Structures are given as structure tokens and as C-alpha cells.
Amino acid sequence: MAVQDVLTLVQNLTQQITTLAWALFLLTWSIGWTIRGSPIPISRLKRAGNSLIEDSVWAAFWLAVGSTVFTLITYLVSVITK
């Protein structure tokens, strides 16, 4: 397996994982805001909405960190293989 094949594999895998993670983040965030803003008088359900929002904020942070690490690894591999 050539180095260029490995680089392409890492880039494609990184892109697919990041896209899936962002989609999951946006889904969780929107569900959390929908539950939190709903006119349902059940406080336990509203706390669940707040919890989803907080979890999605942490997910966004770790997505940013993980994406940065994967981008750095991909860049370093591409520099080394040139």
C-alpha cells in the first residue's frame, strides 16, 4: 500500500467521521432546544432539554479539538510524504 493511498484513506475517514459527528451534534442540539422551549409543564422534561443542550456544547468543543488534531495529522503526513 502506497503512502499516498494511506494519506487519502486518512483524509476520507476524517471527513466522514467529522461530518457524522457534526450531524449528530446538530440533531442533539435542535432536539434539546425544542424540548426546552416546548410549552409542556413537566420540569423533568425541560431539564432533559437543558442537559441535551449542555451535552451538545461539549460535543462541539470536542469536535473542534478532534478535527484540529486530525487535520494536523493529515497535514504532517502530507508534508512528510512530499
Are 20 and 5 in contact, with CB atoms under 8 Å apart?
no
Query: What mean pLDDT comes out for the span 27-47?
Result: 73
Provide the residue ranges of all domains of the chain, joining segments of one domain with +: 3-81
pLDDT of residue 35: 72
Helix axis angle for 43-81 and 3-37, nearest 10°, is 160
pLDDT at 70 over 70: yes
By percentage, how much of the chain surpasses pLDDT 70? 85
The model's pLDDT over 41-57, given as tens digits with 9 standing for 90+, comes to 667 766 777 777 787 77
pTM over 0.75: no
Angle formed at CA 36 by CA 45 and CA 19, multiple of 5 degrees: 105
Backbone angles phi and psi of 16, in degrees to 5: -65, -45
User: Which residue is it, cell 499516498?
Assistant: 4
Q: Which three cell numbers stand for residue 75?
A: 497535514
Q: In whole angstroms, what is the distance from residue 7 CA to residue 24 CA?
A: 26
